[in-house]
Amino acid sequence: MVTENIVCVKCTNVLDRSTIAGVEVDHCPSCGGLWLDRGELEKLGTRSAEELTDLKKILGVDPKVPPVPDDTTIHCPACDGKLREVRFGNILIDFCDSCRGLWLDKGELDSGLKKVQEEGKSVESLLVLAGQIAG
Ligand SMILES: [Zn+2]
Ligand SMILES: [Zn+2]
């Protein structure tokens, strides 16, 4: 459902698309951010560390751009919704209430994966449990 040429939510680059262990992900070649559609973080959480090596590699870019200040309204790259910062484990992720996609800044993937792996629940149910989104 994701349209072509998604622009990064944190900088002005167009996101690259890669298929990692059967999961299609959109990532920013400039700031190392990662856009995941609904359910994709859970899918990545079932893959082995080896299968995710390529993803870690492509996200390991040196940031060329400063991140957007947190009070800026960020439009969802996949729908008409807006992204909202919510707490997910020990990180803050940008979450879309409409399409339930999420954005991970550079370096946040490991924490996000760990959270879904440890809890064995979807991102959505964890956010609902934490009172971060409506059920
Ligand atoms: Zn970017
Ligand atoms: Zn959305």
Q: What is the pLDDT of residues 71-94, one digit of tens each?
A: 678 889 999 999 999 999 999 999
Domain total for the chain?
1
Q: In terms of residue numbers, what domain contains 20? A: 16-129
Strands 82-88 and 74-75: antiparallel
Whether residue 128 has pLDDT greater than 80? yes
Query: What's the confidence (pLDDT) of residue 88?
Result: 97
Asked whether residue 135 is domain-assigned, the answer is: no
134 in any annotated domain: no
Nearest residue to 2 (alpha-carbon basis) of 86, 128, 102: 102
pLDDT at residue 5, rounded to an integer: 78
Residue 100 lies in a domain: yes
Q: What is the DSSP letter of 14?
A: B
65 vs 1, residue with greater confidence: 65
The percentage of the chain sitting over the pLDDT mark of 90, rounded to a whole number, equals 78
Residue 7 lies in a domain: no
Residue 49 lies in a domain: yes
Note whether 40 and 110 are within 8 A (CB). no
For residue 73, the model assigns a pLDDT of 81
The predicted model scores a pTM of: 0.88
Task: Look at residue 90 in the predicted model and tell me its pLDDT.
Answer: 93
Task: Give the distance (Å) from ligand 1 centre to CA of residue 58.
Answer: 13
CA of 68 to the centre of ligand 1 (A): 10
CA distance 28 to 14: 7
Model confidence pLDDT, tens digit, residues 29-86: 999 999 999 999 999 999 999 999 999 999 987 766 666 565 678 889 999 999 999 9
Residue 25: both structure tokens together:
């992900």
Ligand 2 centre distance from Cα of residue 102 (Å): 8
Q: Tell whether 98 is covered by a domain.
A: yes
Which of the 8 DSSP states describes residue 13?
Answer: P
Instruction: Report yes or no on 42 lying in a domain.
Output: yes
Average pLDDT, the chain: 90
| C-alpha 113 to ligand 2 mean position (Å) | 20
- If DSSP codes are grouped into helix, strand and coil, which group holds residue 91? strand
Q: Is residue 5 part of a domain?
A: no
